Amino acid sequence: MTPATIFSIAGMITTPMWVLMILLPKWKVTKLLMDYKVIPLVLSLVYAIYILNAIQIGGMMDFGSLASIMKLFTEENAVLAGWVHYLAFDLIVGMWMLDQNKKLEIHQLIMAPCLFATFMFGPIGFLLFMIIRTFKKK
């Protein structure tokens, strides 16, 4: 499969998981997928394949400067690996937030924007959740 195909598939398996987490976080299917980290594990396997492929093509990666990162992101396999990395880790953060919410009991109407922001903007959603979590704990 081409990197473009894998990119599409990664999005197609990630988006429904976010929809489940935002709209149906207590549904048994959502809980099962979250408990076993099914989608993040699949994404991690894809990441491993494409990062190894990028290393084989371009050699060891240099993360020491912005210029080297920009050069790295001109290689299609490295960019795909980077995107899958974002998808997997944002999803893991969203799952962690829902796990934390089992104790916090933040209303789902408040959790939904945190999860959506994590899905779309990663750290911004995490920051929003942490702010709400801080106030909820007080």
User: Exposed e or buried b for every residue in 23-42, given b needs 16+ CB within 10 A?
Assistant: eebeeeebeebbeeeebbeb
Walk along the chain (138 residues) in steps of 10 and give the mean pLDDT of each run. 95 98 98 98 96 80 87 86 96 98 97 98 98 93
Supply the pTM of this predicted model. 0.93
Q: How many domains does the chain have?
A: 1
Domain that holds residue 28: 3-137
The amino acid at residue 89 is: F
Question: Are 91 and 40 contacting, i.e. CB atoms less than 8 angstroms apart?
Answer: yes
In the chain, how long is the greatest CA-to-CA distance?
52
